[in-house]
Chains A and B, each alone.
Chain A
Amino acid sequence: MSQVIQPTIGLSTPSPRVRRLTWQQVLGKIASVVLIGLLTVYILGPLLVLLIWAFAKEWFYPALLPQAWTLSWWQTIFSTGNFGHSILLSFLIAPVVTLATAAICFPAAYGFSRYRFRGRWTMLISIFAINSFPKMGIYITLAGFFYGLHLIGTFPGVVIVQMLGTIVTATWIPTAAFSAVPRELEEASRDAGAGAIRTFMRVTLPSAKPGLIIALILTFLSSLDEAQGTFIVGAPYYQTMPVVMYGLVNGYPEQAAAVFSVLLTLPSLILLLFVRKYIIGGAFASAFRLH
């Protein structure tokens, strides 16, 4: 029988019809159940407890559930001016960042995928290399520079600092998307008499669309969730949702921060569910390697 099951560390191979578990396999099964259980508590535990806090009226240590429940903290958040303001601000900045990023990155992605030119490789690497500088270092040096340009505490300053976090992904994913469009299709269109622009609009763009949409969504989310750059460059006027969160953690009761957290997580959760299968399918990983 060539299908002998090798006892492996917690890994099970698809078993043949006769299931005769060795004691190692039983141990492995138990170990993997325990480990997955621990990982589940580690990953989901904090989020669940935070969600419960958003509806808690009284929750005293060491009770495992709140003693009394309430919805009043939701009203507090919506009726307190600076929270509402920060939500508006976040949803005002994110589309601007997304459009500006697309405007400079998408043409570049097309350029990288279609043209060969001197310096192409250097330019690819230099965009890529931004991943190898710690963000906080970049923001601190940028803040010094922005003092000189009077961009501290301004709208353009916030947009620029957020764009630094979006450029790599928004160039890479579309580059891969444009590269994947079959050239034969474009050539066929040209042969049929369509011009360059018409071919681009009718053939290239529609084929690359899924990749471009993923890039747009990831850019939008990155802007919505960006905290530290905005915290440094936007202060004190541009307090987006994540920036307000820094202050909430200290100055407010647990429940207020919990409600705000749920509100801030919802858009990310909804948008990411859309792109989940692409992310797991490798589109996200591809933003970190030259492909």
Chain B
Amino acid sequence: MRKGDLGMKNRPWTGFLLTALPVAFLIIFVGVPMVGALLYSLGDAGGINSAISQIGLDQVISHHGLTLKVYSGLIRTPAFVEDLIATIWVTIACVALIVVISWAIALYMRFATGFGARILSVLYVVPMFIPVVISSYALVSFWNDGGFVAAVMSHLGFPNFPSPGYTLVGIIIAQVWASLPFAALMLSSGLKGIPDSQIEAARDIGASGISLVWRVLVPQNMLSTIIVITFSTIGILGSFTIPYLTGPNAPQMLGVAMYSYFSTYNEPQQSQAMAILLFLLSMGIGYFYVRANVRADRKGSLAR
């Protein structure tokens, strides 16, 4: 054991063997299926794909080399293109709302001390305690035609209130609801880490309100913000339960479309091609997520 290493033991095999278990699990049950899905979506029906290709309908099977026909077929399907576009704009709208609302909550929690702050500190974690299936159902029946919001609106003199249940807006309402605890926790734990002295110093030189937030707090809390943005983007891009229970029949978000193709239409090849597209979309985003973490950890303990 080397001194000054925080007592880290230098036994390469013990450490490797202990940590290899979850990594091996992930390689077998995430890595291998992903490679299989990639090959299958490119027309290869051998190996681990031979079982699934026995039952799939409308398949493209290439006996010589790989082909992009599944993907070009998807792109020529108008319904799929609509789904893809809907998925992307719903995701962008949700993430923008999540960032704004959770920043507001985090700021309020950082500076306010009264009754409001106490209420808020309990309130914003509530969605974390509710299983997503339940909250999706609760939200869609609350906002639906004939639901509670519509009833209140009709009492207030708006009988034709356009209820967002089973629309893309309904999906956004539910996604934001479910994502708030994580986002606000992340941001407020980041804000807590900024010392009061630094904020006082900025105030002494005349920074107030917006410029304090923009010039001091946002840059200091950038890592948390990036984690919130990337993590919510990935989560919402691939979400299933919320759009399945609160969204319209068409256009569907990709998570729901993947399921429909897999189970309802029995077209697993198209479904897996969508999964690959989804991975490509989120890999770009995931790169920023991991990089932001690795950068922030240069000073951290685990990098040693």
A interface residues (Cβ-Cβ under 8 A, vs B): 2, 6-14, 32-33, 35-36, 39-40, 42-47, 49-50, 53, 61-64, 104-105, 107-108, 110-112, 114-121, 123-138, 140-145, 147-148, 160, 163-164, 167, 171, 175, 179, 183, 186-187, 224-225, 227-228, 232, 235, 242, 245-246, 249, 254, 257, 261, 264-265, 268-269, 272-273, 276, 279-280, 282, 284-285, 288-291
Contact of B137 among A61, A147, A249, A282 (CB under 8 A): A249
Q: In the bound complex, how far is the Cα of B111 from the Cα of A148, in angstroms?
A: 56
Enumerate 16 A-B pairs (CB-CB under 8 Å) in ascending A order: A7-B208, A36-B120, A43-B127, A50-B134, A61-B154, A108-B20, A111-B17, A121-B303, A125-B290, A125-B294, A134-B279, A144-B36, A147-B52, A225-B132, A225-B133, A249-B137
> In the complex, which residues of chain B have a beta carbon less than 8 angstroms from the beta carbon of A140?
37, 258-259, 262, 271-272, 274-275
Indicate if the CB atoms of A119 and B133 lie closer than 8 Å: no
Q: Does A144 contact B126, Cβ atoms closer than 8 Å? A: no
In the complex, which residues of chain A have a beta carbon less than 8 angstroms from the beta carbon of B110?
11
Stretch with Cβ within 8 A of A (4 or more), from B61-69, B72-80, B281-289:
B281-289
> In the complex, given contacts A13-B111, A116-B9, A148-B49, what are 16 additional A-B residue pairs having Cβ atoms less than 8 angstroms apart?
A11-B112, A46-B135, A46-B177, A115-B18, A117-B12, A131-B234, A132-B290, A134-B234, A134-B279, A147-B55, A148-B50, A227-B131, A257-B137, A268-B129, A279-B125, A290-B296
With the chains together, A269 CA to B128 CA distance in Å? 9
Query: Judging by beta carbons under 8 Å apart, are A50 and B141 in contact?
Result: yes
Q: Contact at A141–B37, with CB atoms within 8 Å?
A: yes
Contact B132 A227 (CB under 8 A): yes
- What interface size band does chain B fall in? 35 or more
Complex: how many Å from CA A264 to CA B282?
Answer: 31
Chain B positions near chain A (C-beta within 8 angstroms) = 5-23, 25-26, 29-30, 32-34, 36-37, 40, 48-52, 55, 104-105, 107-108, 110-114, 116, 119-121, 123-135, 137-139, 141-143, 146-152, 154-155, 177, 180, 182, 185-186, 189, 203-204, 208-210, 212-213, 223, 227, 230-231, 234-235, 237-241, 244-245, 254-255, 258-259, 262-263, 268, 271-272, 274-276, 278-279, 282-283, 285-287, 289-290, 293-294, 296-297, 300-304
Contacting residues, chain B, for A126 (C-beta < 8 A): 23, 26
Give the contacting residue for B112; candidates A12, A129, A261; CB below 8 A: A12
Return B105 CB to nearest CB of chain A, in Å.
8
- Select one of A117, A132, A134, A179 contacting B11, CB under 8 A: A117
How distant is the Cα of A164 from the Cα of B26 in the complex, in angstroms?
A: 8
Question: Which residues on the B side are within 8 Å of A8 (C-beta)?
Answer: 111, 208-209, 212
User: Hey, which chain A residues are within 8 Å of B283, CB to CB?
Assistant: 132-133
B36 touches A137 (CB 8 A): no
Q: In the assembled complex, which residues on chain B have CB atoms less than 8 Å from the CB atom of A164? A: 26, 29-30
Q: How many A-B Cβ pairs are below 8 Å?
A: 348
CB-CB under 8 A for A134 and B255, given A39-B123, A284-B185:
yes
Docked-complex contact A108 and B22, CB < 8 angstroms: yes
Q: How far is the CA of A47 from the CA of B30 in the complex (A)?
A: 35
Partner of B37, one of A134, A144, A167: A144
7 nearest interchain CB pairs?
Answer: A134-B238, A132-B286, A115-B15, A111-B18, A183-B7, A46-B142, A145-B33
- A61 touching B146 in the complex, CB below 8 Å, given contacts A6-B209, A144-B49: yes
Instruction: Flag if A141 contacts B33 (CB, 8 Å).
Output: yes
- Is A133 within 8 A of B282, CB to CB? yes
CB-defined contacts of A6 to chain B, threshold 8 Å: 203, 208-209
Separation of A62 and B282 alpha carbons in the complex (Å) = 43
Contact of B123 among A44, A145, A249, A257 (CB under 8 A): A44
Which residues on the A side are within 8 Å of B182 (C-beta)?
284, 288
Instruction: Assess whether B302 is in contact with A132, with CB atoms less than 8 Å apart.
Output: no
Q: What chain B residues lie within 8 Å of A14 (beta carbons)?
A: 113
Q: How far is the CB of A200 from chain B (nearest CB, A)?
A: 12
Q: From B36, which residue of chain A is reached at the shortest CB distance?
A: A145
CA distance A288 to B185 in the complex (A): 11
Point out the residues of chain B lying under 8 angstroms from A289, CB to CB: 223, 227, 293, 296
Q: Which of A132, A137, A164, A186 has the most CB of B within 10 A?
A: A137
A288-B141 Cα distance, complex, nearest whole Å: 32
**Beta-carbon contact of A116 and B8 below 8 Å:** yes
Which residues of the partner chain B approach A121 to less than 8 Å between Cβ atoms?
A: 303
**Considering the chains assembled together, what is the distance between the CA atoms of A105 and B26 in angstroms?**
12
Complex: how many Å from CA A76 to CA B195?
Answer: 56
- Does the CB pair B286–A129 fall under 8 Å? yes
Q: How far is the CA of A53 from the CA of B138 in the complex (A)?
A: 10
A276–B191 CA distance with the chains assembled, in angstroms: 20
Please determine whether B22 and A104 come into contact, CB atoms closer than 8 angstroms: yes
**B284, chain A: closest CB distance, angstroms:** 10
**Closest chain A residue to B301, Cβ basis:** A179
Residues of A within 8 A of B223 (CB): 289
Q: Which residue of B lies closest to A270 (CB)?
A: B129
In the complex, what's the smallest C-beta–C-beta distance from A94 to chain B, in angstroms? 12
Set of chain B residues within 8 Å of A148, measured between Cβ atoms: 48-52
Chain B residues positioned under 8 Å from A282 (CB to CB): 189
